[in-house]
Amino acid sequence: MPDAGVWTKLINYLLFQAGWFVCVLGAAAGHPWVAASAGFFLVLVHLALVRNPGQECLLLLLSLLLGICVDAFHIHTGVLSFPIGSIHPALPPLWILALWLQFAMTLHYSLGWLAGRYILGALLGGVSGALAYWAGVRFGAALFTADLFRCLLQIGLSWAVVMILLIRAADWTADQDVLPIYRIFTKISKQKGISRG
């Protein structure tokens, strides 16, 4: 039977993937507020499961602030547009801010293996970040407002930097006295004698 860490990473990954599809497809279908609400609900599920919600909330807040700045920059520089669900044309909509929170909730768990690996994180972030936005555009949840190469390059470079900052933030907010497992698996971890908190 997989141990508590494996189960936690699996559930964490599934929460993130479900959140991505709910937010992007919901916005693309013309239901941005429903998408945002569902996305924030999944974040709350994650916070209910973690054993250090205070520090986890700090990481998520840092990611949220970074997301507002990064996506506002892309909007301002004419690379990205969110025609669906924006409160203000200069700011990203709530459904994509929910995605920033959802991504951050993987950093101590399913993406915890990136801790301290800044170069690898930057490479993965640059490629996967650009592709994720491109997928969102293809689904119809957002628009590229410049030529494709410029959009992918700018978003990719921004996400390379974002990943370095988020990995550092994850290291800073990690609770060294608590294993990164969800509460529901605490009993399993104690039975295996691996719990530290």
CA angle 146, 36, 65 (to 5 degrees): 65
- 157 versus 86: the higher-pLDDT residue is 157
pLDDT at 195: 43
Tokens encoding 98 = 């929910």
pLDDT at 192: 60
Residue 60 binned pLDDT confidence (cut-offs 50, 70, 90): very high
pLDDT digits (tens, 9 = 90+) for 113-134: 999 999 999 999 999 999 999 9
Q: Please give the Cα distance from 84 to 183 (Å, whole number).
A: 36
The mean pLDDT of 52-69, rounded to a whole number, is 96
Residue 171 binned pLDDT confidence (cut-offs 50, 70, 90): very high
Mean pLDDT of the chain: 92
Q: Please give the Cα distance from 64 to 68 (Å, whole number).
A: 6
Instruction: Tell me, yes or no, if the pTM score tops 0.85.
Output: yes
pLDDT at 1: 44
Q: Please enumerate in sequence order all residues whose Cβ is within 8 A of that of 37, keeping only pairs 6 or more positions apart, or say none.
A: none
The mean pLDDT of 154-166, rounded to a whole number, is 98
